[in-house]
Amino acid sequence: MRRVYLDHSATTPVDLEVAALMMTYYTEKYGNPSSVHSFGREAKQALEEARKQVAELIGANPSEVTFTSGGTEADNLAILGTAEAQRKKGKHIITSCIEHHAVLETCEYLEKNGFDLTVIPADEEGILSVEDVRKAIRPDTILISVMHANNEVGSIQPVAEIGKLAKEHGITFHVDAVQSLGKIPIDVNEMNVDLLTVSSHKIYGPKGVGALYIRKGVRVVPLVHGGGQEKKRRSGTENTPGIIGFGKACQLAGQRMAEDAEHHTKLRDKLINGILQSIDHVKVNGPMGDKRLPNNVNVSIRFVEGESLLLSLDMLGISASSGSACTSGSLDPSHVLLAMGLVHEIAHGSLRFTLGRQNTEEEIDYLLVQLPKIVERLRMMSPLYDQVMHAKQAQ
């Protein structure tokens, strides 16, 4: 059966060049970077090359990059590590209602353990207000943590302005850039970022690798203690093949960013316009144009439920995701869509398509032929659609 993958914000395939390079470090250059012998040295050298490649993509100095097991660990290290380092200075943390669970749950964990948390709202497009952050700042605020771009609706946040505000108040500023890395330019200095989370598997690198940028002079207490790797910030033998793959993926992402963005934007706009033209009672979630990640499409299709849509698409080989309760693992639909003011019923009917390098216009055409048929079938089954249908019949 034909398969069309449109879930690149969940994960991406590993680039073949990246995979080939990694294989060398599994089977031939398998040394432990901490070893003094030649095997160790060649691994160490490649590790440091990867650090440079990651640093270059975010405008950082290589010495400011700490490798982790992924985005979630980097978020935990940033938030818990800052809280621990500055708990004598203050116990107030600011974050937003549209953050990834890796940030929200970590902040909520701290709240249960004696910290104060302010969660700022988002507007109906899923964008945060700098003014809301300003109002939330207190003398005892030690950390502001917001995402660069939202994983569900692709909304790009005013991080540079929030960073400026944090800097003026001497507050540590953390940005989760997992979704924006490689998609839009990142410069930790222009954005006034102190801590920045990035992940490998969203940019055609392997899973299980990420990094935390830690600005020189910013103190973060480690979560993992042991052999003192990563300048004691993250002990444990480095995942050398994974890190080297991540480095290579960053290099490729940097080289291809403009080309990728153009390709994604073209497909994104074709898909959004195509859905709006072929299906009625549809709402686009998130901003349009430049404030949206080039590869994100998120729509709510009224009177039908997200998991039913996903199952139906999957039977035709099309892979997408949804913010419905059934796919969130709880009884509530996506916290991001609810925070944007969507009512439950409409949030349950959301569909996310996230584009990648290998997607083609022809694949979008295939989706645009299939999706209206699926929606029609599910709507005919839906008691919520009765009124609309009866009104149509009356005409």
Backbone angles phi, psi at 363, to 5 degrees: -65, -40
CA distance 310 to 318: 8
Asked if residue 146 binds another protein (CB under 8 A), the reply is no
Phi-psi sector, 302: left (phi>0), alpha (psi -120 to 50), beta:
beta
Interface mask (CB under 8 A) for another protein, residues 253-292, using x and -?
Answer: ----------------------------------------
DSSP-assigned letter for residue 387? H
By the rule CB under 8 A, 382 interacts with another protein: yes
Instruction: Return d(Cα 100, Cα 147) in angstroms, integer.
Output: 8
Considering only 53, 179, 308, 354, the residue that binds another protein (CB under 8 A) is: 308
Complex with another protein: residue 131 or 345, whichever CB lies closer: 345
Task: Say which amino acid occupies 168.
Answer: E
Nearer to another protein, 53 or 382 (CB): 382
Instruction: Name which of 44 and 348 has its Cβ closer to another protein.
Output: 348
Residue 380 binds another protein (CB under 8 A): yes
In this chain, which of 81, 348, 354, 356 binds another protein, going by CB under 8 A?
Answer: 348
DSSP letters spanning 151-172: TTT-BBP-HHHHHHHHHHTT-E
Q: Which one, 92 or 302, has the nearer CB to another protein?
A: 302
190 DSSP assignment? T
| Pair 71, 205: CB distance under 8 Å | no
Check binding of 1 to another protein (CB under 8 A): no
Upper half-sphere CA count for residue 227 (Cβ side, 13 Å): 9
**In this complex, which beta carbon is closest to another protein, that of residue 190 or of residue 314?**
314
CB of 386 to another protein, least distance (A): 7
Min. distance of Cβ 325 from another protein in angstroms? 5
Q: Is 97 labeled as catalytic in the residue annotation?
A: no
Yes or no: say if 349 and 324 are a contact pair by the CB < 8 Å rule. Answer: yes
Count of chain residues binding another protein (CB under 8 A): 24
**What is the closest distance, in whole angstroms, from the C-beta atom of residue 383 to another protein in the complex?**
4
Of the listed 97, 107, 250, 326, which one is catalytic? 326
For 151-185, b where at least 16 C-beta lie within 10 A, e where not — what string? Answer: bbbbbbbbbbbbbebbeeeebbbbbbbbbbbbbbe
Rg (CA), the chain: 22
Strands 65-68 and 210-214: antiparallel
Site residues for another protein, 315-344, by CB under 8 A, read 315, 324-326, 329, 331, 333, 344
Residues that bind another protein (CB under 8 A): 303-308, 311, 315, 324-326, 329, 331, 333, 344-345, 348, 380-386
